[in-house]
Amino acid sequence: MKTWMMLANAAPLFMSEMNGNEKIPFTGIIAVTLTGFAVVFLGLIILIAFVSLLGKFFESRSNKSKPDAPSAPKQEQKPAPKPAPKSPAADLNEEQAVVAAICAAISAMGDAEGTTYAVKSIRPRQASVRGARPAWYMAGLRDNTTPF
Amino acid sequence: MKTWMMLANAAPLFMSEMNGNEKIPFTGIIAVTLTGFAVVFLGLIILIAFVSLLGKFFESRSNKSKPDAPSAPKQEQKPAPKPAPKSPAADLNEEQAVVAAICAAISAMGDAEGTTYAVKSIRPRQASVRGARPAWYMAGLRDNTTPF
Amino acid sequence: MKTWMMLANAAPLFMSEMNGNEKIPFTGIIAVTLTGFAVVFLGLIILIAFVSLLGKFFESRSNKSKPDAPSAPKQEQKPAPKPAPKSPAADLNEEQAVVAAICAAISAMGDAEGTTYAVKSIRPRQASVRGARPAWYMAGLRDNTTPF
Amino acid sequence: MIILETLLQTLKDLWFESGLYAFVTSVDGLKSLAMILISFVFMFLAIKKGFEPLLLLPIAFGMLLTNIPNAGMYHPELWTGMNAAGEHVGIDYLQVMREGGLLDILYMGVKLQVYPPLIFLGIGCMTDFGPLIANPKSFLLGAAAQGGIFFTFILAGLFFTGKEASSIAIIGGADGPTAIYVSSKLLSGGGAIDTGTIALAAYTYMALVPIIQPPIMRALTTKKERSIKMGQLRKVSKTEKIIFPIAVTLIIGSLIPSAAPLVGMLMLGNLFKESGVVSRLVDTAQNAMMNIITIFLGISVGATTKADKVINKEFLLVMLLGVAAFSLGTASGVLLSKLMNKLSGGKINPLIGSAGVSAVPMAARISQKEGAREDPTNFLLMHAMGPNVAGVIGSAVAAGVLLSVFG
Amino acid sequence: MIILETLLQTLKDLWFESGLYAFVTSVDGLKSLAMILISFVFMFLAIKKGFEPLLLLPIAFGMLLTNIPNAGMYHPELWTGMNAAGEHVGIDYLQVMREGGLLDILYMGVKLQVYPPLIFLGIGCMTDFGPLIANPKSFLLGAAAQGGIFFTFILAGLFFTGKEASSIAIIGGADGPTAIYVSSKLLSGGGAIDTGTIALAAYTYMALVPIIQPPIMRALTTKKERSIKMGQLRKVSKTEKIIFPIAVTLIIGSLIPSAAPLVGMLMLGNLFKESGVVSRLVDTAQNAMMNIITIFLGISVGATTKADKVINKEFLLVMLLGVAAFSLGTASGVLLSKLMNKLSGGKINPLIGSAGVSAVPMAARISQKEGAREDPTNFLLMHAMGPNVAGVIGSAVAAGVLLSVFG
Amino acid sequence: MIILETLLQTLKDLWFESGLYAFVTSVDGLKSLAMILISFVFMFLAIKKGFEPLLLLPIAFGMLLTNIPNAGMYHPELWTGMNAAGEHVGIDYLQVMREGGLLDILYMGVKLQVYPPLIFLGIGCMTDFGPLIANPKSFLLGAAAQGGIFFTFILAGLFFTGKEASSIAIIGGADGPTAIYVSSKLLSGGGAIDTGTIALAAYTYMALVPIIQPPIMRALTTKKERSIKMGQLRKVSKTEKIIFPIAVTLIIGSLIPSAAPLVGMLMLGNLFKESGVVSRLVDTAQNAMMNIITIFLGISVGATTKADKVINKEFLLVMLLGVAAFSLGTASGVLLSKLMNKLSGGKINPLIGSAGVSAVPMAARISQKEGAREDPTNFLLMHAMGPNVAGVIGSAVAAGVLLSVFG
Ligand code: NA
Ligand code: NA
Ligand code: NA
């Protein structure tokens, strides 16, 4: 108990004195541990609070808008209907990929018809450069030349 | 008018004295502006002269060679015939893409037979490099997060 | 001959004295040359020895295992049967590509069913990464190394 | 007991050192909070309104990171180039490496003037100078539109020092990397504005080009002028396209050496593309390399927008001068093309003049759109691409002039 | 004659200077040889056993290169930050550039604290925080699993200095870049352990997660608990996913600034991904950029494992503490999820708690697998992904605490 | 009035400072102009003749940029490693960062010896050592062809200093990165030749291999020898291919440490490839990373070719010695393979010996082509690939010897 008492007297000082290049007293170890836990939990609990509030806000907004426009929000959020509960992640992602691929195809067609042109002349070219490059490519192309 | 006269006397000096860390007199501002305009126009007018001469040289050469060899230069310059005036760039490039794809296929075959080596084969092949990418893209994504 | 003798006396010293910023005596040149040859041959001969031993070890192991399990090692080593002697590399690699592609397809299906998670799935997928690649890989390889 | 005491003490320390405490207890903290809200505005513009997201999103995020109190990711004091006594001694990169945070390290590429030329390399790989070669007179419009730079310089010179006025004027070049190249060279971060301020204005107005330009274009042209149809451009041979970047580098580099890094890299990229023999390099330069540098450039330039650089009247002034710059550039281009139309006997549609500001390819699209608005069968796009890409070269030359006078 | 003599002399010199001579004639040589054999073991594990090959293979190769006597590719003495008199003066990067070998130059990115945040940028681009947003209570499990860090800190503190103990404890974060970020900051290479030691332990145990976790999970849960089925997660809107990374950056960055580089870059990557407007940058950040940095990081961190850093009792201790760290983290996560299950009235399957250690996505897959082992119709994967990605944030916060105390 | 005067004065100043003025008024200007014309020749060779365009095009463009008077993109005086008093003090990288232009900054990667090993990493990812493992005697031919280096060293030693002679001799290695690695280390830019000179010669002759080699091959072999058919190579197991790069690194690195960076990175790339577990890294190392570095390397090495480094008799001498180097290497390889054919009783076609110079894979293709010229059914390609890749290792070892003697 004596050691403990000695440490106790040193304690208010040692946190600022610790340079980490020497062993730290056991009190210090415990203090760091507790502090660490406290900060981690504190931080993540603040996040829980924020995310929960955010979720409630969006759910309430989504509920409010549902009766008015039942189909609009569906488009906004991904339209994937989940039929079977098995491996939802895989399903969801594959569906998203398909959707993305279709979107890309549609937007590519739209481009081909030349209704909204402008830089399209540039982009189709790059499309052919990259040829098969995937879903994201078509979508991203327009923005890519713009900012420079 | 007195300020103006004072500035006038200082003028020959101030361009070399300006370190840019203080406000510059109005004469200086105007001088920089005029200089800037002059240099920009000078530079681009030199470019106009050069590019015009270049264009004339190539047009005359192209005209000269036309009666002699009507098909050869066509291959050298892109072979795209432009049927409709709308969005010529897109047409041209899509054709190039097809040509490139065919070339790639042919040269790949050629390589397998070991007949045609050399530099040409570089580009078409890179087209195929990109072609292959999306396949692995989706598949690889999940595992890629693993190691970190 | 006098020069030679003089050089001879200097020789034991000059290798350590040579800072390379001045011309070196002819003896030095020859010594560097011989040393260079000696080291290069020495190094590569050690490699020959190592690689030969390695090859023998693997051949003997492969021979030993053959009578016991005639089909197992076939899978381990690439299963390519070589019918014609012409361009063996190309044949071999194309077969590997096909095998890889099939593997990739199968493993992808396996994944979709959600039966095999865990560590294994890492490699198959990476195989599929490669699976898409061999097409351009073979083709691009030759040209890509050229410039360096 | 003692442990609990220590724990409480440590938590108290953490609280007093935390940004949350700073936000609510000091004026600087409140300013930082305001800056973070401003960064949200730019994120919103980038994501929801599609304002140049490739640059504005990283810039806005850098703005968020740099204004979190005590986060220490960017240290403006490392970049003033002054020693403790206030003498100008140049940036101490060794100190930057020792004491800098993540965004300081990434900002090295800005201060070493490396990122913008390399982005120009990638842009060169994507640019087709064909329309400009086919109609070299377009260069005049690319030159005229630099009025956006020089007329703004006159205005900015009334309020700011030479270096600051140059940095603000270059916004009129409507060219992000050029603006960052010039302002990162001229501004040390010691004054009221910094590179980030300039970049924010430049990219914001670049995104607003479709709103800024059309009214000016319509006001300065007649319906008849806007309906002029222009003949088809001649075909440009591959050899011309190969010679062009080499010649431009040589001519512009010789004339105004301080423009050489920007023009040289732009033209190297274009030579890569037109030569057709290094498609590997073209692919990487315009994709992986440019994207990596865009990220590094964006977040580190964003980091220079500490609260004291934005929440001041100078920022407002910069934003005002920025919109003036874009407008003046547009007007200059349109007016010269009107003149050229007169001189050519009505063969040039003045709408293509506005494309000279660069903002590739948006400004050219707007010329096309405005033309088609009068007559849907009028195709100005290729004719506007000439002044459009000429404007990039013109801005780089103008940048060279400003750097050679004030650099 | 004289030529032959010189030749022989030179060859003799080469022999005495060669690594082959060193291997067989000195204790240090033998130790290096032993280290090379150890590097072979790690290569074997990476290639044949699939142990995190993306990092372990470059690390093991760096280990091979650094232990070849006289190869001079890495110089530990350049990184101690001490002058000849033993005083701490900071790393002299000018000297590193003048005298460093290839791996010293690449190691600059580690010491400048650049590589790990940029890898986090790439990871952010690949991470889906949806399951965490849908069920924010998962954050608690991501926090609990940091017990792996803090309980290990208690153990390590008995044997090591504060900086060393922190570096060892962070292994329990089950997050490679975080471990390298912390240890490269705290360890100067002067002591018995260095960054490479920590990285080896971290990646080895990350690969062993499928072996370490299941027995602990089974021991701490009942069959009934493991069979609990969890309801489907709510759908998360795109806007929530966009706000999330911004908010996390602001909140965590304000609370614990030293975590800002890691958390900030992770969230920037995620914002890139969720914004959907910068797919070019997303592609490059998660592929070309991350791969380049992975290579540089791997071989240069591997280079810090000179023989005197590994062939000592401290290395064994680190490996022991590392497995303890992973086990304690798993146990902490499972125990809190058991408690949460109790409090929630049996709605939470405690198997998802172990996923809080991060080791994304392996730990979440193990939760899924263990659940399916009891009841093949039980799908825990998405529920485990919440704690799993929360664990990454949790580790970064814990890293911030350790850095703010000892950094 | 005063404004006009100032304007005229400024324009006059600009004119006197411009490169155009320098070109026509000074000998240095004329020399620069001549250099620019030479750069056009190399661009022509790269684009129209397909001479190694991936490197020669950037190098030639760097040559153009560096010879524009006053452009200030490259400063040779920063790289001499001398202080004002002419004492050797090492390169001051802080000064480079403060005063350097774009190409100086990019050249840092050359002087820090980083680019060539990283390019070797990419090459290793693309190299198949299978044919060499199947027939390890090929190593002898890869060693013999280094005669191109050492015999040239004798010739060059008559005219040049030890460091210069080594830099010239290494051209005979027919390996660009190796040549740049050695010459950038040995040459300070103070003398008559610099890295750019060496690189120009190396890549030019590499492109001319199909013209240089065949006559020598035919002259030194009989028709009968050229018609020898060689048996099929044995199949090499995956495990052998994995062990090979590890073993080569260890053996060569131990024997000649100064070769370790080149050989080590080449073998790391190959291990990445053969391991089959890190295909992400393989992809990036051989594409994005290698391309980025190729661009940086090319333009910055090209920048070292200021007029005074090329328009002198030493340049001519280097070009002459360069062609001698390639010829001597070819001859050495062929002669040893003739000897080996004798000793083996006629089983070895001497045409494969020339492939030992490296110049992968062109030299091997030429062996194939020459063989097929005598007998169209003769397939030598795979047999020539063995010496071909052995030549890369051989050159790196030879480079190590030269660096250890003169470095
Ligand atoms: Na412009
Ligand atoms: Na964790
Ligand atoms: Na060679």
Task: Look at residue D40 in the predicted model and tell me its pLDDT.
Answer: 96
Instruction: Render pLDDT for D303-339 as a digit per residue (tens, 0 to 9).
Output: 999 887 778 888 999 999 999 999 999 999 999 999 9
Residue A114: count other Cβ atoms within 10 Å of its Cβ: 13
Q: Which stretches of chain D score pLDDT less than 50?
A: none
Judge whether E38 lies within some domain: no
- Among chain B, residues having any CB pair with chain A shorter than 8 Å are 86-87, 89-90, 93-94, 96-97, 100-101, 127, 130-134, 137-138
Q: What are residue D88's DSSP bridge partners?
A: D82
Ligand 2 mean position, distance from CA D104 (Å): 27
Residues E40, E44, E47, E50, Cα dihedral to 10°: -130
User: A12 vs F93, which has greater pLDDT?
Assistant: F93
Using CA atoms, how far apart are residues C93 and A73, in angstroms rounded to an integer?
51
Helix (H, G, I), strand (E, B) or coil at F88: strand
Residues 6+ apart with CB under 8 A from D97: D105, E91, E93, E108, E112
Query: What is the 8-class DSSP label of residue E82?
Result: B
Instruction: Render pLDDT for C73-91 as a digit per residue (tens, 0 to 9).
Output: 333 333 334 343 333 333 3
Helix (H, G, I), strand (E, B) or coil at E88: strand
Q: Do at least 3 CB pairs under 8 Å connect C with A? A: yes
Using CA atoms, how far apart are residues B80 and B95, in angstroms rounded to an integer?
7
In DSSP notation, F211-223 reads HHHHHHHHHHS-H
Q: Do A59 and E234 touch (CB under 8 A)?
A: yes
What is the average pLDDT value for chain B, to the nearest integer? 52
Task: Look at residue E20 in the predicted model and tell me its pLDDT.
Answer: 77
Ligand 1 mean position, distance from CA D139 (Å): 11
| Distance from the F298 Cα atom to the nearest Cα atom in chain D, whole angstroms | 11
Q: Do F64 and D261 touch (CB under 8 A)?
A: no
Q: Spell out which residues of chain D touch residue F40, defining contact as CB-CB under 8 Å.
A: 246
| Distance from the B120 Cα atom to the nearest Cα atom in chain A, whole angstroms | 17
Q: Spell out which residues of chain F touch residue E293, defining contact as CB-CB under 8 Å.
A: none
Using CA atoms, how far apart are residues F310 and F50, in angstroms rounded to an integer?
23
C-beta of residue D129 within 8 angstroms of C-beta of residue D244: yes
* CA D232 to centroid of chain Cα atoms: 32
CA proximity to F79, closest of F92, F68, F97, F63: F92
Question: Per-residue pLDDT averaged across F109-115, rounded?
Answer: 96
Q: Give the rounded percent of residues in chain E with a pLDDT score beyond 90.
A: 77
Task: Look at residue E1 in the predicted model and tell me its pLDDT.
Answer: 61
Does position F160 have pLDDT exceeding 70, yes or no? yes
C-beta of residue A131 within 8 angstroms of C-beta of residue B97: yes
Residues 6+ apart with CB under 8 A from C131: B135, B136, C97, C100, C101, C103, C104
What is the average pLDDT value for chain D, to the nearest integer? 92
Ligand 1 mean position, distance from CA D175 (Å): 6
Question: How many beta-carbon pairs below 8 A join chains A and C?
Answer: 6
C-beta of residue D210 within 8 angstroms of C-beta of residue D366: yes
Token output for D83: 């020693």
Q: Which amino acid is at D364?
A: A
Which residue in C11, C119, C123 is closest to E6 by CB distance? C11
Sign of CA dihedral F292, F294, F295, F300: positive
Task: Look at residue B8 in the predicted model and tell me its pLDDT.
Answer: 38
Q: Spell out which residues of chain B touch residue C93, defining contact as CB-CB under 8 Å.
A: none
Q: Do F252 and C47 touch (CB under 8 A)?
A: yes
Instruction: Render pLDDT for F307-334 as a digit per residue (tens, 0 to 9).
Output: 877 788 888 999 999 999 999 999 999 9
Judge whether D62 lies within some domain: no
Judge whether F45 lies within some domain: no
Identify the band that residue F191 occupies on the pLDDT scale cut at 50, 70 and 90: confident
Q: Which of E51-60, E144-153, F16-25, F76-85 has the lowest mean pLDDT?
A: F16-25
CA distances from E24 to A88, C49, E29, E31 (A): 59, 20, 6, 10
Judge whether F219 lies within some domain: yes
| Distance from the B127 Cα atom to the nearest Cα atom in chain A, whole angstroms | 7
CA distances from F245 to D141, D222, F121, F242 (A): 59, 73, 12, 6
Residue F26: count other Cβ atoms within 10 Å of its Cβ: 12
Using CA atoms, how far apart are residues A126 and B130, in angstroms rounded to an integer?
12
Using CA atoms, how far apart are residues C35 and E4, in angstroms rounded to an integer?
9
CA proximity to F203, closest of F48, F303, F354, F326: F326
Work out the burial of residue F163: count CB atoms within 10 Å of its CB; fewer than 13 is exposed, 13-18 middle, 19 or more buried: buried
C-beta of residue E108 within 8 angstroms of C-beta of residue B126: no
> Helix D53-66 to helix E238-255 angle, to the nearest 10 degrees?
30
Which residue in B142, B144, B147 is closest to E55 by CB distance? B147
In DSSP notation, D88-145 reads B----HHHHHHH--HHHHHHHHHHTT-HHHHHHHHHHHH---HHHHH-TTHHHHHHHT
Token output for D339: 């003149």
Residues C113, C114, C116, C120, Cα dihedral to 10°: 100
Using CA atoms, how far apart are residues F144 and D265, in angstroms rounded to an integer?
42
- Among chain E, residues having any CB pair with chain C shorter than 8 Å are 1-7, 9-11, 13-14, 50, 207, 210, 362, 365-366, 368-369
Q: Spell out which residues of chain B touch residue D165, defining contact as CB-CB under 8 Å.
A: 24, 29
C-beta of residue E182 within 8 angstroms of C-beta of residue E170: yes
pTM of the model: 0.85
Q: Give the rounded percent of residues in chain F with a pLDDT score beyond 70.
A: 99
Which residue in B93, B100, B130 is closest to A133 by CB distance? B130
C-beta of residue C11 within 8 angstroms of C-beta of residue E2: yes
C-beta of residue D229 within 8 angstroms of C-beta of residue B54: no
Ligand 1 mean position, distance from CA D32 (Å): 33
Q: Do D253 and F68 touch (CB under 8 A)?
A: yes
User: E12 vs D317, which has greater pLDDT?
Assistant: D317
Task: Look at residue B19 in the predicted model and tell me its pLDDT.
Answer: 65
Task: Look at residue F8 in the predicted model and tell me its pLDDT.
Answer: 78
| Distance from the A117 Cα atom to the nearest Cα atom in chain B, whole angstroms | 9
Does position C2 have pLDDT exceeding 60, yes or no? no
Which residue in E92, E255, E278 is closest to D20 by CB distance? E255
Task: Look at residue A64 in the predicted model and tell me its pLDDT.
Answer: 62
Task: Look at residue B17 in the predicted model and tell me its pLDDT.
Answer: 52
Using CA atoms, how far apart are residues C133 and B135, in angstroms rounded to an integer?
9
Does position B95 have pLDDT exceeding 90, yes or no? no
C-beta of residue C48 within 8 angstroms of C-beta of residue F139: yes
User: A119 vs E287, which has greater pLDDT?
Assistant: E287
- Among chain A, residues having any CB pair with chain D shorter than 8 Å are 4, 7-8, 11-12, 14-15, 27-28, 30-32, 34-35, 38-39, 117-119, 121-122, 125-126, 129, 143-148
| Distance from the D405 Cα atom to the nearest Cα atom in chain F, whole angstroms | 9
Domain of E136 in residue numbering reads as: 108-406
What is chain B's alpha carbon radius of gyration, rounded to the nearest angstrom?
29
Residue with tokens 């100086």: F104
Predicted-complex ipTM score: 0.83
Task: Look at residue A140 in the predicted model and tell me its pLDDT.
Answer: 36
Widest distance between CA atoms in chain C: 87
Using CA atoms, how far apart are residues D127 and D389, in angstroms rounded to an integer?
8
Residue B94: count other Cβ atoms within 10 Å of its Cβ: 16
Q: Do at least 3 CB pairs under 8 Å connect F with E? A: yes
Which residue in A121, A122, A133 is closest to B133 by CB distance? A133
Q: Where are the domains of chain C?
A: 2-65, 92-121
| Distance from the E9 Cα atom to the nearest Cα atom in chain C, whole angstroms | 8
Number of domains in chain E: 1
CA distances from D144 to B29, D295, E181 (A): 18, 32, 52
Identify the band that residue F23 occupies on the pLDDT scale cut at 50, 70 and 90: confident
Residue of E nearest to B136 (CA): E287
Residue D210: count other Cβ atoms within 10 Å of its Cβ: 13
C-beta of residue D174 within 8 angstroms of C-beta of residue D363: yes
Judge whether E163 lies within some domain: yes
Helix (H, G, I), strand (E, B) or coil at D82: strand
Helix (H) or strand (E) holding D342: helix D313-344
Using CA atoms, how far apart are residues F223 and D268, in angstroms rounded to an integer?
48
Which residue in E139, E239, E240 is closest to A48 by CB distance? E139
Identify the band that residue E213 occupies on the pLDDT scale cut at 50, 70 and 90: very high
Question: Per-residue pLDDT averaged across A40-53, rounded?
Answer: 93
Q: Which ligand approaches the C-alpha of residue D390 most closely? A: 1
Residue with tokens 């001490």: E82
| Distance from the D162 Cα atom to the nearest Cα atom in chain B, whole angstroms | 4
What is chain E's alpha carbon radius of gyration, rounded to the nearest angstrom?
23
Using CA atoms, how far apart are residues B121 and B108, in angstroms rounded to an integer?
8
Q: Do E71 and F253 touch (CB under 8 A)?
A: yes
Residues 6+ apart with CB under 8 A from F341: F225, F228, F347, F348, F349, F350
Task: Look at residue D395 in the predicted model and tell me its pLDDT.
Answer: 95
Using CA atoms, how far apart are residues C95 and A106, in angstroms rounded to an integer?
37
C-beta of residue E349 within 8 angstroms of C-beta of residue E141: no
Query: What is the 8-class DSSP label of residue E234?
Result: P
Q: How far apart are the first and last CA of chain C?
A: 45
Q: Which chains touch D (3 or more CB pairs under 8 A)?
A: A, B, E, F
B/e letters for D247-259, b = 16+ CB within 10 Å, e = fewer, are bbbbbbbbbbbbb
Q: Which of A95-99, D129-133, F187-191 has the lowest mean pLDDT?
A: A95-99
Work out the burial of residue E345: count CB atoms within 10 Å of its CB; fewer than 13 is exposed, 13-18 middle, 19 or more buried: exposed
Residues 6+ apart with CB under 8 A from C59: F234
Ligand 1 mean position, distance from CA D318 (Å): 18
Instruction: Render pLDDT for E90-126 as a digit per residue (tens, 0 to 9).
Output: 899 999 999 999 999 999 999 999 999 999 999 999 9
Does position B31 have pLDDT exceeding 50, yes or no? yes
Helix (H) or strand (E) holding D404: helix D381-406
Identify the band that residue C18 occupies on the pLDDT scale cut at 50, 70 and 90: low
Q: Do B125 and C132 touch (CB under 8 A)?
A: no
